[in-house]
Chains A and B, each alone.
Chain A
Amino acid sequence: MEFRYLPMTESDKKEMLTVIGASSTDELFSDIPESIRLREDLKLKKPANEYQLKKELTEMARKNVNVKEYTSFLGAGVYDHHIPSIVDHVISRSEFYTAYTPYQPEISQGELQAIFEFQTMISELTGMPVANSSMYDGGTALAEAVNLSAAQTRRKKILVSKTVHPESRAVVETYAKGQNLDIVEIEAEDGITSLSEIEKHLDENTASVVIQYPNFFGQIEPLAKINNLIKEQKKTMFIVSSNPLALGYLTPPGEFGADIVVGDTQVFGIPAQFGGPHCGYFATTSKLMRKIPGRLVGQTTDENGIRGYVLTLQAREQHIRREKATSNICSNQALNALASSVAMSSIGKQGLKIMAALNMKKARYAKHKLEEANIEVVFKTPFFNEIVIKLSKPVSNVNQKLLDKGIIGGYDLGQVYPKLENHMLVAVTEIRTKDEIDKFVKELGDING
């Protein structure tokens, strides 16, 4: 069988073996002890030719209900936004996607500059002076932020609001086990973090307080008040996980005294793709610049004084510090950071506010229509583009019926919040039309009874 990715011919092989001084390629594997040598062929599916494989994959993909053919009101951390056409054209340029980490700056100025621009955009959005080149996703970025706060304050206690994304909290908990941290979950009241619960648990052993803004229920947490509480403990750090699109309209966490701001830029140019790869971001105060995990690109000049960019402050990173590193991150999400940069450039300074406001206005229209249809919208505080509604039936049953009508319903909150049984988290982004929202409300009303 021939393989189009393998260029060696039989005559090449012969010539090369002669140079090596080996009689066969098997001889090159003679250092593998007999006892562990694989004696039979791997049992894998037969190789497929390109045409056949494309057909097979297309059929497999067709088995999935996708958010382009169905109308989706599902969010809960992963959102269906408009992706400008140019995004895929840029990230399909193989000088970008087939490159490694830019360790050789002379031939990697393109990637380095793109990351430098990404860092600038994240810094602008979050209101933080420093941002890194990206993390795996929002969840692991949050876990790294928590680890950083513990290392920085030499404290073990972390307060995490229950209005933080449940899967991010779960990841934080796993990472915390590694560092023997003590996670205290803070109860919510009416859809936002309970300030009195923060007060109750906050003490001189608290490394950080973790808040999501807007929170998992879509509600806008009162960061100003929370920050005032936190500042009563001198060293305690304020960590905010934020949907960066919302920051087009909302005051950024940096202006509310946040020490670390993290989140996911999936909202900018990255398709849902079943939850990954997305793109975490990580932004901090200047004080934490030399503690930040992951790669950083800095501006400098070459021997001739030409402006250029390099990976910098590498002494923080695992390949230099090894066992002294506080993070082990190596690969990041550079290509997705590029996708988000292109999307952010396309949306631009003016467009961002318009896009954020579109989300808010359409979500408010949905809220209004739902209430008209006698479906209870549970929380009353200001929100971004998600709302929580209370249904009379299990969410999974409702969603099944919505699916028959071509609609992907919202997230079933009862799965992780026992008190919110039969509650659905509904996301309304800028791409939902009035007609789609009207239809959703009508069908939901009919099903709900």
Chain B
Amino acid sequence: MANQDFPLIFERSKEGRTGYSLPDLDVPEIELENELEDVYIRKTAPDLPEVSELDIMRHYTGLSNRNYGVDSGFYPLGSCTMKYNPKINEDAARLEGFSHIHPYQAPETVQGAMEMMYDLQTALKEITGMYEISLQSAAGAHGEWTALMMIRAFHEANGDFDRTKVIVPDSAHGTNPASAVVAGFEAVTVKSNENGLVDLKDLKRVVGNDTAALMLTNPNTLGLFETEIKEMAHIVHKAGGKLYYDGANLNAIMGYARPGDMGFDAVHLNLHKTFTGPHGGGGPGSGPVGVAKELEPFLPKPVLTKKEDQYIFDNNRPHSIGRVKPYYGNFGINLRAYTYIRTMGAEGLKKVSEYAVLNANYMMRRLEKAYDLPYSQHCKHEFVLSGRKQKKLGVRTLDIAKRLLDFNYHPPTIYFPLNVEEAMMVEPTETESKETLDDFINTMLTIAKEAEDQPEIVQEAPHNTIVKRMDETTAARKPILRYYRSN
């Protein structure tokens, strides 16, 4: 297996081989060619593979063996909340009454699905302390943009067309400034102070009559709670702006604090992070949006409500920003999140945050001697180390990450947040045992020692993976983005 080229599905193809089983043609045969203008009839068939069913299973089983998920091992990828993905969630999503229902069926035929959505909205309202929830947005970034569009509509409804700027901390996720721009705003940066928190002086400097909103993650991307949040809310609100909560880090505070109580006007949640919708190798996710009462009229269409005993989709929403996605959001992911919330309840979710924070602090304290810890207060669910010390020895953070692969770990998030040099962002999550944490810590300590004693081992890592470091420069300079059959 190791160190060899793995064939593409197209390279397994053999003319005349089939992997399909299609329904019979049980209606009279007709000549379609007679009906269509010749120019609309495809002449060259798309070159899909011709493979048997076993060929396909072997191929994808082989590919899965060349991949790494949470079920494969520890995945302390900061900001991504790579917790265990419960199997009952997968079973729930595959119930025919959920998986095989059409979005345009009459509402009275899908009341069970709508009930689930309504119950999930109710639960998320309670968890976030927001006035209303929309399940429409497909992912975190989509939720950010949806909420910013609502904030824009709110200002414009007040005749306030000059609020063109969205303030984003220097430690923010890249999606924040990008979402602001896609929603038609200009993104401006507010600096962090020496404690890793938003610098209030700088906030006062950048806030003004042109402020539409401040986007904030709390705890922030350094894993630190923004302790002056009330003051920040006051500053932004006084200037007429809105406060936006990036829910990527909600896993740290469930049952302890709520964005609604902190003064946030809008939030998005990442159900694929906090609420165990699996990450799927990059998606699908789900990014519901929660809002304060003032923003409720602007929610995307449709809004799911309950009238008497019937659930309905309300499209009669004159102030709505409109549709952000066809149909009703990523229902299948929302269902997984619902199943998780029903499994955990209030008590369980609070324990989730308790252990997520306990695990992160434990790891941080055990690693702070070997690695540089730029901010030393208690962290929340994640913490950021700096590889500065190792860099002086010629070992970069990238090298440390690659060395971790040799020990069968997924490395932490690296080179993010941008305000920490050689950053390593570690998020253990609550579903990992102390033994797993200890093993990982010991590996990290071993690597720190290697960096001192035999740096080349780290610099040249990984040694044990099926491929070595990839030539990314050539990939970008001369992009090969698809396969072509060579004759």
Contacts and interface: CB of A to CB of B under 8 A. Distances in A.
A350 B60 CA distance: 21
Nearest to A89: B57
Contacts of B327: 78, 167, 274-276
A37 B109 contact: no
A109 interface: yes
Interface in A48-96: 48, 50, 53-54, 56-69, 72, 74, 76-78, 80, 82, 84, 86, 88-90, 92-96
5 contacts: A63-B115, A277-B331, A331-B287, A338-B60, A408-B109
Interface string A271-288: 111111101000000000
A120 B66 contact: no
B247 interface: no
A361 interface: yes
Interface stretch (B99-107, B206-214, B389-397, B446-454): B99-107
Contact of B361 (A28, A56, A92, A329): A28
A346 B56 contact: yes
A176 B412 CA distance: 37
B57 A90 contact: yes
A8 B56 contact: no
B141 A329 contact: yes
Interface string B405-421: 10000110000100000
B110 A97 contact: no
A35 B475 contact: no
A182 interface: no
A414 interface: no
Contacts of B325: 136-137, 139-140, 171, 276
Interface in B437-487: 462, 465-472, 474-476, 479-483
Given A98-B279, A298-B481, A382 B475 contact: no
A377 interface: no
Among B84, B330, B474, B480: residue with most chain A CB under 10 A = B330
Nearest to B225: A31
B127 interface: yes
A249 B41 contact: yes
Given A44-B346, A273-B332, A346-B20, 13 more contacts: A25-B358, A64-B112, A78-B102, A93-B64, A97-B69, A140-B138, A140-B142, A298-B475, A318-B177, A328-B141, A335-B284, A364-B30, A433-B26
Nearest to B345: A47
B99 A271 contact: yes
Interface residues on A, range: 35 or more
B281 A320 contact: no
Interface stretch (B5-13, B237-245, B289-297): B5-13
A191 to B, nearest CB: 15
Interface stretch (A153-161, A204-212, A300-308): A300-308
Interface string B290-329: 0000000000110000000000000000000111111111
Nearest to B228: A33
Contacts of B101: 64-67, 272-274
Contact of A41 (B39, B346, B465): B346
B157 to A, nearest CB: 13
Interface stretch (A124-132, A192-200, A232-240, A386-394): A124-132
B154 interface: no
Contact of A138 (B112, B326, B405): B326
Interface in A315-362: 315, 317-336, 338, 341-342, 344-355, 357-358, 360-362
A250 interface: yes
B56 A101 contact: no
Given A100-B279, A251-B41, A44 B341 contact: yes
Contacts of A123: 481-482
Contacts of B50: 348-350
A285 B62 CA distance: 32
A133 B27 CA distance: 38
A445 interface: no
B281 A382 contact: no
B201 interface: no
Contact of A334 (B282, B286, B434, B482): B282
B21 to A, nearest CB: 7
A23 to B, nearest CB: 12
Contacts of B179: 318, 328
Nearest to A213: B40
Interface in A18-37: 19-22, 25, 27-33, 35-37
A331 B432 CA distance: 24
Interface string B166-196: 0010000111011111111011000000000
A296 interface: yes
Given A54-B91, A74-B102, A330-B140, A19 B284 contact: no
Interface string B111-146: 111011001000100110000000000111110110
A131 B46 CA distance: 14
Contact of B97 (A31, A66, A357): A66
Given A5-B431, A114-B63, A431 B23 contact: yes
B402 interface: yes
B378 A134 contact: no
A120 B482 contact: yes
Contacts of B350: 41-42
A272 to B, nearest CB: 5
Given A110-B63, A354-B22, A57 B92 contact: yes
A140 B41 CA distance: 28
A304 B3 contact: yes
